[in-house]
């Protein structure tokens, strides 16, 4: 007797929750969760836009700025002078994980549990791979090139000149350079080696100067903006894992709503990819 009562109460509850919505058709024919995800993403887009606009504003306010093709030119395996190669690989990893996410959502729509789990695992692998690449890029910039949020050893010359000393890497004493040419100040031990040079031409012709550090805003902006994006990827991966486990456990089978949870995390994941399109544009391409 008691069992049947519980059962019927459960049933009633189920019907009630379906009948909770009394406002006629749903706003925008989308569920509450999906709609709110869209508005969250809109607000997040404004946050990222604010950061990227700050980057652009500071960049145009300086008469010298590090050239991205020079700064981001290392590749795993000891390769140098490979402008944009590594970051293109990162972009492809993220794009690929976006595709696997689409496939997971599609499998969810036809209630195919195994398909959802399979494609979500691939998405998680892609997200983790992207984070690994970012960790490598950061460790190169911080450990090898000694860029930090307060010191930026990357800059570009504002006048032509001739080096008076070499740096033991690419530059030898007597090498000449043009205005706009990039340089990296090396650090040996605890000491920075700002190379001395004589200016060729212009109002300061013949003057002896030394390499100056680049705009410090560059390091802070780079680590903060790519770090904020990386944090989004990290939280995305965590949520993907949770939802993947839930899907594998059969939780969403009972809900019979076409794996809507997978669709919502899918929206978030595509947004992370979308933001990367613009981070890639602003930091690396322009």
Partner 1 sequence: MAHLTYEQSKSKAFTIIIILGIMTIAEVLFALLGKGYLIEGIEFPAIVMALVMIAMSLAKAYLIVYEFMHMKYEVPGLVKSVLLPTLLLVWAIVAFFYEGNGWNKSRTKLINKYKGIDDTQIDKGIGFIDNDTYYLN
| Token representation of residue 116 | 């959802």
Report the C-alpha gap between 218 and 156 in whole angstroms: 13
- CB neighbour list of residue 209: distance below 8 Å, 6 or more residues apart: 161, 196, 197, 198, 199
Sign of CA dihedral 241, 130, 277, 282: positive
Least gap, CB of 26 to partner 1 (angstroms): 10
State in angstroms the smallest separation of the CB of 195 from partner 1. 17
Q: Is the dihedral of CA 81, 87, 90, 96 positive or negative?
A: negative
**Distance between CA 217 and CA 26 in Å, rounded?**
47
Q: Shortest gap between Cβ of 10 and partner 1 (angstroms)? A: 32
Site residues, partner 1 (CB under 8 A): 27-30, 35, 38-39, 41-42, 45-46, 49-50, 53-54, 56-63, 69, 83-84, 88, 91-92, 95-96, 98-99, 101-103, 106, 109-110, 203, 207, 212-213, 215-217, 266-267, 270-271, 273-274, 277-278, 280-281, 284-286
Q: Choose between 166 and 270: whose C-beta lies nearer to partner 1.
A: 270
Q: Say how far apart CA 192 and CA 105 lie, in whole Å.
A: 52
For the bound state, the minimum distance from the C-beta of residue 106 to partner 1, rounded and expressed in Å, comes to 6
Per the listing, tokens 């809507």 go with: 260
CB of 273 to partner 1, least distance (A): 6
Tell me the backbone φ, ψ of residue 273, rounded to 5 degrees: -65, -40
Residue placing its CB nearer to partner 1 in the complex, 45 or 121: 45
CB of 215 or CB of 230, closer to partner 1: 215
141 or 272: CB nearest partner 1: 272
Q: Which is nearer to partner 1, 174 or 202 (CB)?
A: 202
> Using an 8 Å Cβ cutoff, are 140 and 132 in contact?
no
Pairing of strands 161-163, 176-177: antiparallel
Measured from the CB atom, the residue of 30 and 245 that comes closer to partner 1 is 30
DSSP summary character for residue 224: H
Chain centroid to Cα 93, Å, comes to 12
Q: How far is the CB of 271 from partner 1 (least distance, A)?
A: 7
**CB 90, min distance to partner 1, A:** 11
Between 127 and 215, whose beta carbon lies closer to partner 1?
Answer: 215
Which tokens hold the place of 81?
């002078």
């Amino acid at each position: 007797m008691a069992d049947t009562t519980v059962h019927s109460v459960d049933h009633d509850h189920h019907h009630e929750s379906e009948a909770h919505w009394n406002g006629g058709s749903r706003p925008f024919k989308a569920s509450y969760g999906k709609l709110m995800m869209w508005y969250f993403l809109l607000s997040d887009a404004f946050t990222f836009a604010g950061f990227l606009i700050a980057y652009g504003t500071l960049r145009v306010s300086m008469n010298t700025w590090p050239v991205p093709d020079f700064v981001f030119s290392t590749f795993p395996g000891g390769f140098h002078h490979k402008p944009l190669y590594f970051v293109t690989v990162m972009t492809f990893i993220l794009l690929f994980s976006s595709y696997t996410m689409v496939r997971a959502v599609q499998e969810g729509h036809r209630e195919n549990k195994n398909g959802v789990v399979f494609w979500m695992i691939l998405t998680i692998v892609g997200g983790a791979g992207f984070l690994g690449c970012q960790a490598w890029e950061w460790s190169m910039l911080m450990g090898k090139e000694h860029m930090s949020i307060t010191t930026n050893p990357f800059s570009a010359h504002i006048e032509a000149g001739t080096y008076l000393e070499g740096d033991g890497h690419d530059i030898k004493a007597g090498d000449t350079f043009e205005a706009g040419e990039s340089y990296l100040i090396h650090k040996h031990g605890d000491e920075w080696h700002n190379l001395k040079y004589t200016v060729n031409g212009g109002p300061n012709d013949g003057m002896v100067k030394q390499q100056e550090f680049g705009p410090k805003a560059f390091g802070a902006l780079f680590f903060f903006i790519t770090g904020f994006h990386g944090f989004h990827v990290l939280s995305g991966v965590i949520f993907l894992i949770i939802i993947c486990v839930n899907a594998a456990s059969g939780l969403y089978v009972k809900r019979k709503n076409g794996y809507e949870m997978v669709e919502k995390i899918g929206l978030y994941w595509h947004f992370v990819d979308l933001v990367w399109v613009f981070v890639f544009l602003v930091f690396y391409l322009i």
